Amino acid sequence: MRLDTVAFRYGRRGPWVLRDVTLALGPGDIIELTGPNGAGKSTLLRLLAGLHRPRRGKITERPASIGYAPERFPADQPFTVTTYLAHMCALHNLPRDASQHWTHLLNLDHLLNTPLPELSKGSAQKVGLIQALLPSPKLLLLDEPFSGLDAATLAQLPELLATLAANGTTIVLSDHQRLLHHPAITNLPPIRHLHLANNTLTEPTPAPTSTPNPTSPIAIRTPGPGSPTSPPEAPSAPKPTPESLAEDAASRAVTTPGTPTPSTPAPGPDAPPATASPNARAATASPDTSTASASPAASGVDVSAALDQTPAPPFPEASTTPRSPVQVINAPADAPEQGASSKDPQPTPPRTSQSTSRTSTQEPPDGPHTPSPGAPLQPTPDTAEASTGATNGYSRRTASSQSSSDVPDGWTVLEVVVRADEADAVERELRAAGRTVRRGASE
């Protein structure tokens, strides 16, 4: 399949969404499409599917059988899961029960008689995935396929994609969570990384494997008492097995280190990790600091969008303010000086029950012309203020409470304290942005 200088815009006078997109896709390719929100990833997927016509250029050699899983499955339809899938089977000239294999695999059997409008987001997403997989497509287009899925399904999908790719299916997916870069995923063929920004598509550096790159791992973890941490693996460390991914996912942790992007001002793939110094780590953590402090519940800010796109100021005022509903403590595992600074709890009385979290962040690469949130930023003295001012009676775990072996090179740990009532929202947003989150016990 080829795209030759494809350009597209909605309407004759609308702004160009895509320009000069030239691309060749081969059987068995797995293409990961990244880019900031609104960059045109979904539009490109629909162009690939043939649902939009390019305004300029042409798309040739498109496979006849195409599976398309939309970003939001249209659940507003008057069917139950089983009747809907039966109709989809009929559309593909398949037996009525052809979807049983997939519903069983994706653990949807217990919802077969549930009306589509009553499905949760993740369950609806599964239905969308199943209908895309039904025809055994030669071109599989997945628009944010991992969004909202439960841990068990998340752990299964990479292997499923690998099997499809091995059978010659071309897979193009947009994925903010970058799940395919989990270190536990070892059986995927090389993933091509395409980045869409400023209306153009670039293929920065071919991601050689699904192994994580130390320059852009993203993880947020909240250690629970006795809960095993599953940190992103350092390049030199032995790879975990796929089971570890399931374990990881089952323990509500998603680790999604990203691939490098040349446009990122950060060092390239061969460069030393951006977290070579504590300062760099602290600075790298700052975008999360800013976005976490602007909690969705408090301010309506889209955390994931901000994480993806916004080169936040090094340390926002909100995070240094004791009244901030979400407080962030920078506590890299191997930066005891910061951990020590965080051992002085502010004598502010706790407003609500709070959850503790340990956060390890490093921003994903962003567009070629977008300042990368992952670029090392210079730490400011506010870091310490943020650490000390963000306690609210919270008993901190610092680097000393977590083995430094848990945090590989290139990762930064943030401890995030949020109000109990907004913890779910913040966690959801951070997961959507590709961080690893583990919830700790409130103290």
Partner 1 sequence: MIALIRFQLAGYLRSMRFLPPLIVAVLLVLLVFGQWPSGPDRIKLATGTLGDAAAFMVPLSAWTSRSLLDTQPTVQRWITLLAVRQSAIAGLLAAFTASTVLGLILFAAPLLQALTIGVPAATTAAAALLVPLACAAGTLIGAWTSRAIIPGAGASLLTLLAILTASLLLGLGRLSFLAIPYLDWIKAAHNGPSNLQSSLPAVLLHLFLWCAAAATGYLLTLHRQTTPT
Beta carbon nearer to partner 1, 93 or 113: 93
Least distance (Å) between residue 91 CB and partner 1? 4
Residue 62 interacts with partner 1 (CB under 8 A): yes or no: yes
Q: What is the C-alpha separation between 29 and 139, in angstroms, rounded?
A: 10
Contact yes or no for 396/345 (Cβ under 8 A): yes
Contacts of 35 (CB under 8 A, 6+ apart): 41, 174, 195, 196, 197, 367
Q: How far is CA 87 from the centre of its chain?
A: 32
- Distance, in Å, from the CA atom of 27 to the CA atom of 59, rounded to the nearest integer, reads 16
Name, in order, each residue with C-beta under 8 angstroms of 130's C-beta and a sequence gap of 6 or more.
Answer: 85, 88, 99, 102, 103, 106, 108
Residue 43 parent element (H or E): helix 41-49
Closer residue to partner 1, CB minimum distance, 14 or 50: 50
- Contacting partner 1 (CB under 8 A), which of 27, 38, 74, 208? 74
The contact pattern for partner 1, residues 121-150, with x = CB under 8 A and - = no contact, is: ----------x---x---------------
Q: Which residues contact 243 (CB under 8 A, 6 or more apart)?
A: 184
The residue among 96 and 110 lying less far from partner 1, judged by its C-beta, is 96
DSSP H or E stretch at residue 303: helix 303-309
Q: Which is nearer to partner 1, 24 or 420 (CB)?
A: 24
Evaluate whether 276 touches 215 at the Cβ level (below 8 Å).
no
Binding of residue 78 to partner 1 (CB under 8 A) = yes
Site for partner 1 in 17-56 (CB under 8 A): 46, 49-51, 53-54
77 binds partner 1 (CB under 8 A): yes
Establish if 13 lies at the interface with partner 1 (CB under 8 A): no
Give CA–CA dist 31/334, Å, rounded: 35
Asked if 90 is part of the footprint of partner 1 (rule: CB under 8 A), the reply reads yes
Question: Nearest Cα to 35, choosing from 129, 170, 190, 144?
Answer: 144
Find the shortest distance in angstroms from Cβ 153 to partner 1: 20
2 binds partner 1 (CB under 8 A): no
What helix, strand, coil percent values describe the chain, rounded to 5?
30, 15, 50
Minimum CB–partner distance for residue 197 and partner 1 (Å)? 25
Binding flag, residue 91, partner 1 (CB under 8 A): yes
- According to the binding rule CB under 8 A, does residue 373 interact with partner 1? no
Shortest CB 394 distance to partner 1, Å: 44
The CB-of-76 to partner 1 minimum distance in angstroms stands at 6
User: Residue 127 Cβ, how far from partner 1 at the closest point, in Å?
Assistant: 11
Helix, strand or coil, per DSSP, at residue 2:
strand
Which range binds partner 1 by CB under 8 A, 85-93, 185-193, 234-242, 333-341?
Answer: 85-93
Between the alpha carbon of residue 288 and those of residues 104, 133, 318, the distances in Å are 38, 36, 12
Nearer to partner 1, 90 or 271 (CB): 90
Measured from the CB of residue 54, what is the shortest distance to partner 1 in angstroms? 6
Judged by phi (left if over 0) then psi (alpha if -120 to 50, else beta), residue 199 lies in left
Nearer to partner 1, 39 or 139 (CB): 139
Q: How far apart are the first and last CA of the chain?
A: 55
Q: What is the Cα 53 distance to its own chain's centre?
A: 29
- Binds partner 1 by CB under 8 A, chosen from 35, 36, 40, 67: 67
User: Cβ of residue 133: shortest distance to partner 1, in angstroms?
Assistant: 12
Angstrom distances, CA of residue 58 to CA of 43, 174, 194: 15, 22, 19
Under the criterion CB under 8 A, does residue 93 sit at the interface with partner 1?
Answer: yes
Q: Which is nearer to partner 1, 76 or 270 (CB)?
A: 76
Q: Between residues 173 and 234, which has the closer beta carbon with respect to partner 1?
A: 173
Residue 102 interacts with partner 1 (CB under 8 A): yes or no: no
Give the interface with partner 1 as residue ranges (CB under 8 A). 46, 49-51, 53-54, 58-60, 62, 66-68, 70, 72-74, 76-79, 83, 87-88, 90-93, 131, 135
